[in-house]
Amino acid sequence: MTIDEIQQEIVEEFSGFEDWMDKYAYLIEIGNEMTPIDAKYKVENNLIRGCQSRVWLHQEFTDGKIIFEAESDALIVKGLVALLLRIYSGRTPKDILESEPRFIDEIGLRQHLSPTRSNGLLAMVKQMKMYALAYEKISAKK
Amino acid sequence: MIPDISKMRKDFPILDQKVNGKPLIYFDNAATSQRPIQVIERVDEFSLRTNANIHRATHYLANKTTEAFEASRETVRQFINAGEASEVIFTQGTTESINLVAFSFGEAFVSAGDEVIVTEMEHHANIVPWQMMCERRSAILKVLPFNDNGELQIELLDSLITNKTRILAVAHVSNTLGTINPIREIILKAHLKNVPVLIDGAQAAAHFKIDVQELGCDFYAFSGHKIYGPTGIGALYGKRKWLDQMPPFMGGGEMIDRVTFAKTTYNQLPYKFEAGTPNYVGAIGFAAAIQYIQTQDNQALHAYEHDLLTVATEKLQQIEGLKIYGEATSKAAVICFNIVGIHPFDLGTLLDQMGIAVRTGRLCADPVMDHYGVENMVRASFAFYNTFEEINAFYKALIRLKAMF
């Protein structure tokens, strides 16, 4: 499935919720179900520190694709992180750079990507794109 | 006289709105307060009819604006009972005020090996400027700690002050713990050893009577936007004896007497510290806010705020797993807390869905977070336009949200 197809899938999953409480409960559930990131990756280098929540992002580049692992100490953010991994992990740098996480807006959670310095989630998306950009350049040089 | 809170609420149009479909419950007053219509109208009226730069031209509008600006200074002077208007400097706010003192006092009085004392419960605005100054002047920053109850360990103060101590800076009220510090006692102890004291009054000015002469403090800083006035304006009170000896902070127009490329001489107080065109619109709004408060029965309002704190604390203490940070006997209406197993960001986000505005995060007080070993907290802070019904709704919301985790 392409990134956009997965985003569409997510939007459809959320369209069933009328009540904000159900929407957030679902996010919390997704967050809770996430496999925790390996403890050895929860290090300073991987930490994206925002004052609202912390996010750890680990990545590996194999076979031309970036595998991401991530986690947050806030459950709602963790749920959103899980969704972001669903669309971005295992993708080529090109695919990552060419798409935007528009699903977040479409499921009515745009405020979580607001550009305040305290927003760990937005910083994480930016970081993912930076990795994609770096790997794309590295691959181009070979 | 019991204040008519519902009548006073009507003075604040912003409170009458729905957020996410629910009535707004604004519990973030420690971050900023709301403005009454009287302040909004005064600022609008001024901008519509009177605006001109001050202290510069002699035309009609300039004169009227200058009068209004200096009248605002006098209003602030009276509000804090400063000895003279020249001891009241208009600044951008508390942060700028503290930076001004840290820099200028540092230039004049602090040398290598000297000491500056702050406390463990300070907001970053009352820590970082001093750290920066200490680095510049090769001085040492010392910290007066607080106990787990949120009270400063005053018993350590005497030994912390040495003959190298040049200044002590402390909050009147903590923005996280809510503690009302015994600043009179602190000032007396410091003065016995000839150490001047700066008070960060950002959280206090709106909620408690300030009398700088009675307190005896050497500097007192507070902000307009936390006292029902506009943003971008604040005041720094400083005793003339210090301000006269301190070099200017910022250079430019207004703060000068005569400029030549060979030498420039400076203006007298307060203008020496008011470079550039000031936020005179803000100053006028600031004065209007003070006047609004002064027309109320402040003792009654302060008592009411205290009741809000008491009721909210009682209710929160009933919630299992909820921990309040800061339980000093003398507290302002600020409650920081966490609920076991629930991240503050999650709680704040969900409270927002219910129309309730609280603050979450590190609250510009990293040392306080470190003291309790937490990453973030939730903070509810009240003003006189909050109600017991709102607190009840808050309590019920917390119970409901707790069940989601």
Q: Are A74 and B362 within 8 A, CB to CB? A: no
Query: Which residue of chain A is at minimal alpha-carbon distance from B403?
Result: A25
pLDDT tens profile B138-172: 999 999 999 999 999 999 999 999 999 999 999 99
pLDDT value, residue A54:
87
Q: Are B404 and A25 within 8 A, CB to CB? A: yes
- Kindly state whether residues B10 and B86 are assigned to the same domain: no
Residue ranges making up the domain that contains B343: 5-30+297-402
Cα–Cα distance for residue pair B133/A45, rounded to 1 Å? 31
Short-list B41, B358, B12, CA closest to B176? B358
Cα B393 to the center of its chain, rounded Å: 28
- Kindly state whether residues B257 and B122 are assigned to the same domain: yes
- The catalytic residue among A51, A130, A133, A138 is A51
Query: Which residue of chain B is at minimal alpha-carbon distance from A112?
Result: B349
Last residue of a domain, one of B272, B294, B316: B294
Last residue of a domain, one of B270, B294, B318: B294
- Kindly state whether residues B48 and B25 are assigned to the same domain: no
- Kindly state whether residues B9 and B130 are assigned to the same domain: no
Tell me if B331 sits within 8 A of B368, measured CB to CB.
Answer: no
- Looking at the 3D structure of chain B, how many domains does it have? 2
Q: For residue B224, which phi and psi values (nearest 5 degrees)?
A: -65, -40
A13: CATH:
3.90.1010.10
Q: Is B363 left (phi over 0), alpha (psi -120 to 50) or beta?
A: left
pLDDT value, residue B50:
87
- Looking at the 3D structure of chain A, how many domains does it have? 1
- Kindly state whether residues B247 and B351 are assigned to the same domain: no
Q: The whole model's pTM is what?
A: 0.94
What is chain B's length?
A: 405
| Known active-site residue A14 | no
Residue B36 lies in a domain: no
Residue A56 Cα, gap to closest chain B Cα (Å) = 15
Tell me the residues of chain B between 334 and 373 that have a Cβ less than 8 Å away from chain A. Answer: 343-346, 348-350, 353, 360-362
Cβ contacts of B346 on chain A, cutoff 8 Å: 28, 74-76
B160: CATH:
3.40.640.10
A87: Cβ–Cβ under 8 A, 6 or more apart, which residues? A3, A6, A7, A10, A99, A101, A103
Q: Are B375 and A54 within 8 A, CB to CB? A: yes
> Is A77 an interface residue toward B (CB < 8 Å)?
yes
- Kindly state whether residues B288 and B301 are assigned to the same domain: no
pLDDT tens profile B268-312: 999 999 999 999 999 999 999 999 999 999 999 999 999 999 999
Query: Which of A20, A78, A119 should be substituted to probe chain B, the one whose Cβ sees the most B Cβ atoms within 10 Å?
Result: A20
Catalytic residues of B: 364
Last residue of a domain, one of B259, B294, B329: B294
Residue ranges making up the domain that contains A121: 3-141
Residue B367 Cα, gap to closest chain A Cα (Å) = 14
Residue B35 lies in a domain: no
* Candidate from B349, B362, B376 with C-beta closest to A76: B349
Query: Is the predicted pLDDT of residue A26 greater than 70, yes or no?
Result: yes
- Kindly state whether residues B346 and B255 are assigned to the same domain: no
B341: CATH:
3.90.1150.10
pLDDT grade for A53, boundaries at 50, 70 and 90: confident
Cα R_g (chain A), whole angstroms: 15
pLDDT value, residue B51:
87
- Kindly state whether residues B212 and B68 are assigned to the same domain: yes
pLDDT value, residue A115:
66
Residue B19 lies in a domain: yes
Q: Residue B278: is the preceding peptide bond cis (ω within 30°)?
A: no
Q: pLDDT 10s digit of each residue in chain B, 405 long?
A: 568 999 999 999 999 999 999 999 999 999 999 999 999 999 999 999 888 888 888 889 889 999 999 999 999 999 999 999 999 999 999 999 999 999 999 999 999 999 999 999 999 999 999 999 999 999 999 999 999 999 999 999 999 999 999 999 999 999 999 999 999 999 999 999 999 999 999 999 999 999 999 999 999 999 999 999 999 999 999 999 999 999 999 999 889 999 999 999 999 999 999 999 999 999 999 999 999 999 999 999 999 999 999 999 999 999 999 999 999 999 999 999 999 999 999 999 999 999 999 999 999 999 999 999 999 999 999 999 999 999 999 999 999 999 999
Cα separations (Å) of A53 from B47, B310, B355, B361, B374? 41, 30, 21, 8, 12
Cα B379 to the center of its chain, rounded Å: 16
The encoded tokens of residue B99 equal 């930076």
> Is A38 an interface residue toward B (CB < 8 Å)?
no
- Kindly state whether residues B223 and B355 are assigned to the same domain: no
Cβ contacts of B343 on chain A, cutoff 8 Å: 53, 73-76
Q: How many CB pairs under 8 A join A and B?
A: 42
Tell me if A26 sits within 8 A of A33, measured CB to CB.
Answer: no
B310: Cβ–Cβ under 8 A, 6 or more apart, which residues? none
